Amino acid sequence: MRHDATRWQGVLAAGNPAVACRSCPGGVSRSIRVPRYPSDMSDAEWAVTEPVLPEPAWRQGKGGRPAEHCRRDIVDAIRYLVKEGIQWRAMPTGLPPWSTVYDCLAGWQATGATTVMHGELRRQCRIAAGRKPEPTAAVIDSPSAKAAETVARASRGFDAGKKINGRKRHIAVDVMGLLLVVVVTAASVRRASPGPWAGPAGTAASWRCLTRRPGRTRSSPRVR
């Protein structure tokens, strides 16, 4: 920790611009990572993402101390995992430990913070594109995928139409392609069923929207 703090002070002393982070002492990011992956955020992307992250408990007077890792590194790790589709334990050494990232993401999802963050970022993207904050139309798709033998029978089913035994991904996006809802069910669940659409986009897949460039999909109608 002391060695990292010394390196962080050296980064600031070298004239590199300070980046805000409420989870770090002084409100300045302690991250000393050099961006090397396509999923790493730029300073501009982090400036939009950081304000919508939950307020750290120690800043709310709930006790505790600043986290060992800057939240920018945590978010970069989540984005890398979603973008590359790796296993948790395959997290590269240049990112925070997988267990730290997992606990942080699990905590955000348990409190509903992930859904709040995702919704706020989606609204900002829509406003920047000249649209209303909330969508009035959606594009829905429910592709089925074969499940491995290790998938429990209770969470898999048979899609009679596509002749697939596995799971179904129920996905809803707005006309810009921004994620609204994603729910995974057994492949036997019909798309017309109201059940799958009852849940919010609160899983790790929600972070995929942060790696996509907003743009109208080819099959989307021109509606606001």
SS (H, E, C) 76-144: HHHHHHHHHCCCHHHCCCCCCCHHHHHHHHHHHHHCCHHHHHHHHHHHHHHHHCCCCCCCCCCEEECCE
Task: Identify the bridge partners of residue 48 per DSSP, sorted by sequence position.
Answer: none
In the three-class reduction of DSSP (H, G, I as helix; E, B as strand; rest coil), residue 183 is classed as strand
Q: Which two tokens stand for residue 62?
A: 């709930």
Q: Which segments in the chain show pLDDT lower than 50? A: 1-16, 194, 197-224
- Domains of the chain, by residue range, sit at 2-111, 134-211
CA angle, corner 16, sides to 7 and 69, nearest 5? 45
| Its pTM surpasses 0.75 | no
Measuring CA to CA, how many Å separate 141 from each of 22, 89, 99, 197? 38, 31, 33, 11
Average predicted confidence (pLDDT) for the chain: 78
In the three-class reduction of DSSP (H, G, I as helix; E, B as strand; rest coil), residue 27 is classed as helix
pLDDT, tens digit, 9 for 90 and up, residues 132-164: 999 988 898 888 989 888 888 888 898 888 889
> What per-residue string of b and e applies to 92-128 under the rule 16 or more CB within 10 Å gives b?
eeebbebebbbebbeebeeeebbbbbbbebbbebbee
Number of alpha helices (DSSP H) and beta strands (DSSP E) in the chain: 5, 5
Give kind and range of the element (H or E) at residue 197.
none
User: Torsion over CA of 58, 64, 67 and 71, rounded to 10 degrees?
Assistant: -30
pLDDT of residue 40: 94
Q: Which two tokens stand for residue 95?
A: 């990112």
pLDDT of residue 39: 93
